[in-house]
Amino acid sequence: MGKARAFLPFVLGCTHALIPLFPAFISLSGVAYPGISLLPRTAVYGVLGLSCALFLSFTSALFAYGFGEQPLVLPLASLAGAAAISALLGFDPSAGLLFIGIYLMAISWHCAVVRFFGDAKVARAILWAYCVSGASAAVAAVAMVLTHRPAALFAIGHGRAIGTFVLPGELAAYLVVFLPIAFAVARVGPGKLLRAVAWSSVAVAAIALYETHSRAGWMGFAAAAAFLVATNVRGRRYGLLAATGVAAAGLIAVLLAFNVRHNPSEDYTRIAIWQAAEQIVDRFPLTGVGPFDFARIYPQVHVPDADATAFHAHSIYLSIFAEMGIVGLCAFAWVIWTFARRLRDRMTRASPRSAYLALAVSAGLVGVAVQGLIDTMSVVLFGLWLPTMGLALAAAAGDWERE
């Protein structure tokens, strides 16, 4: 193994560890976002610089050692192409170029996980970094709730857990993905110490998820748990019954605590935003208004009593439809379909340990897909979606078990 390749455990582990800090990048955008970033601007620039250096490192490794088998490269490229077309025909091509740049970095990250996860120490480094980073983010968020500090963060979130994630829903989305993965690592991860750390991570992350009081997040987690139960309980009938029970429990929890630590007047804002998104889709059905351009068009189409501004359609699917049209929505569907088909193919050859980890990673994706029905989280789109799909495919391949 070359010297450059020997650094990949550190590079990819560090990249995954930084995910809880990615939401702070919005403070560099100049937009008036509805939250508070805890990181000072100099620290955000530092995280951005480190992220770019890590990106260059694993991208260089891909070109140096080959991309290997990349099951999703064509569908992912088609979505980048759809974004480029929408940007060129949209209202702000520069914003579209920013979207495409970030998306291409996410594709490279995905490819690096698929290609190098089976290398010596890489899987262990990624899983260690993921568990420690996630646990630290959860502890920090819960501590801020308990201490009511920072006061401005506590007030703007109505006492809900936020931590480094600007909004409670973003923390919830991260934890919906994190919890199933940490749970799987606790059961089948490499090394007793890592498994012990993962169990601790599961405990504190569950508390943090509860403290977010994110209704969409709770339902997303219920969907993730139901998927994991359905795919691991012996017998299809019993698995479906157990999964239905888990999903029903999640729905009951949401209904019982619907407005806990929420401003009830906000319950209807999403309806108005969805109506505005429908108006945008009606006017620009083929290629949309361009990536990141929803906020630019929203003031011209929203109903009179709606919020004055909205950055997205509060639904990942409506956001894609409004910003990239039918072309983007079809490319997105191709990515999801190909991922499910290729993962299924790999699962037929996977060992029980590899299959369990791959299914747990996939459960997190199912969870944020459900949460995405009524919310759009940037941390999912740019920090979780593509790398997590890569992690599922790599875990199912089983090469990591040789460590």
Return the percentage of the chain with pLDDT > 90, whole number.
63
Per residue in 45-96, pLDDT (tens digit) is 999 999 999 999 999 999 999 999 999 999 999 999 999 999 999 998 988 8
What's the pLDDT at 105? 94
Per residue in 150-206, pLDDT (tens digit) is 998 888 888 999 999 988 999 999 999 999 999 999 999 999 999 999 999 999 999
Mean per-residue pLDDT, 3-26: 90
For the cut 60, the answer to whether the pLDDT of residue 259 exceeds it is yes
Longest dimension (CA), the chain: 63
Question: How sure is the predictor about 379, in pLDDT bands with cuts at 50, 70 and 90?
Answer: confident
Quote the tokens at residue 187: 């059961």
For the cut 70, the answer to whether the pLDDT of residue 239 exceeds it is no
Mean per-residue pLDDT, 229-252: 70
Mean per-residue pLDDT, 27-34: 71
Q: State in Å, rounded, how far the first CA of the chain is from the last one.
A: 15
Mean per-residue pLDDT, 341-352: 93
Most confidently predicted of 52-56, 251-255, 304-308: 52-56
Mean per-residue pLDDT, 135-162: 92
Residue 145: CB atoms within 10 Å: 21
SS (H, E, C) the chain: CCHHHHCHHHHHHHHHHCHHHHHHHHHHCCCCCCCCCCCCHHHHHHHHHHHHHHHHHHHHHHHHHCCCCCCCHHHHHHHHHHHHHHHHHCCCHHHHHHHHHHHHHHHHHHHHHHHHCCCCCHHHHHHHHHHHHHHHHHHHHHHHHHHCCCHHHHHHCCCCCCCCCCCHHHHHHHHHHHHHHHHHHHHHCCCHHHHHHHHHHHHHHHHHHHHHCCHHHHHHHHHHHHHHHHCCCCCHHHHHHHHHHHHHHHHHHHHHCCCCCCCHHHHHHHHHHHHHHHHHHHHCCCCCCCCCCHHHHHHHHCCCCCCCCCCCCCCHHHHHHHHHHHHHHHHHHHHHHHHHHHHHHHHCCCCHHHHHHHHHHHHHHHHHHHHCCCCCCHHHHHHHHHHHHHHHHHHHHCHHHHC
For the cut 90, the answer to whether the pLDDT of residue 21 exceeds it is yes
Please answer whether residues 173 and 379 qualify as being in contact, where contact means their C-beta atoms are separated by less than 8 angstroms.
yes
What's the pLDDT at 265? 65
Mean per-residue pLDDT, 321-344: 96
What's the pLDDT at 257? 72
Residue among 190, 251, 261 at smallest CA distance from 225: 251
Q: Where do we find the tokens 């140096």? A: 64
Distances (CA, A) of 270 to 52, 322, 374: 35, 15, 8
Higher-confidence residue of 216 and 126: namely 126
What's the pLDDT at 230? 85
Residues making up the chain, counted from first to last: 403
Question: How sure is the predictor about 136, in pLDDT bands with cuts at 50, 70 and 90?
Answer: very high
Q: Where are the domains of the chain?
A: 3-402
Return the percentage of the chain with pLDDT > 70, whole number.
92
What's the pLDDT at 37? 82
Cα separation, 55 vs 46, whole angstroms: 14
Question: How sure is the predictor about 330, in pLDDT bands with cuts at 50, 70 and 90?
Answer: very high
Mean per-residue pLDDT, 296-301: 87
Please answer whether residues 331 and 85 qualify as being in contact, where contact means their C-beta atoms are separated by less than 8 angstroms.
no
Judge if the upstream peptide bond of residue 264 is cis by omega within 30 degrees of 0.
no
